[in-house]
Chains A and B, each alone.
Chain A
Amino acid sequence: QSVLTQPPSASGTPGQRVTISCSGSSSNIGGNYVYWYQQLPRTAPKLLIFRNNQRPSGVPDRFSGSKSGTSASLAISGLRSEDEGDYYCASWDDSLGGRGVFGRGTKLTVL
């Protein structure tokens, strides 16, 4: 069982807005930054959102992140077919001496 809880799947049609949730606890999301990684088919993961709501250069502003308490969410607006892939939330967890934790991932399907 993963420390961070994400829905296993999400879907939307082109142009729609979808959100993916990520739930944690006070030892991870509640006290540390949240990150979102995008993994497109057959590629290495890519940093999509860092420090809760910041976008690396080159990431379209269609992607946005937010955090509230021990939960976070990723929103994708203007959905495009090339957004289809897996999305993972991640955070540092201060328990057990410190460790990185990922959600199990959400598979996004563009219908």
Chain B
Amino acid sequence: SQQGEEDPQALSIQEGENATMNCSYKTSINNLQWYRQNSGRGLVHLILIRSNEREKHSGRLRVTLDTSKKSSSLLITASRAADTASYFCATDANDYKLSFGAGTTVTVRA
């Protein structure tokens, strides 16, 4: 069964706006990762946050992790057309397996 669930399923924003998506999971984790998938392509790793971290930044990306609520959020600031993609969270429960959610589809309108 899938560990992570993203919310919302789809998001449409104007170029320049911020996009926020959330991920909830069920069991204790070692780390949580976010990936991007452009249409018809493989997944690309964006950021990894470990269970003892609360916030991490990478360029225009900001990820938070709240282990007490078993949730994470991904914020993309100042969105661009190139940010149009599906975004997936994936959790590592320290069992050699990465468990993915169903993803959030983000559309950035020009």
- A and B are partners in one complex rather than unrelated chains: no
- B residues with a Cβ closer than 8 A to A are none
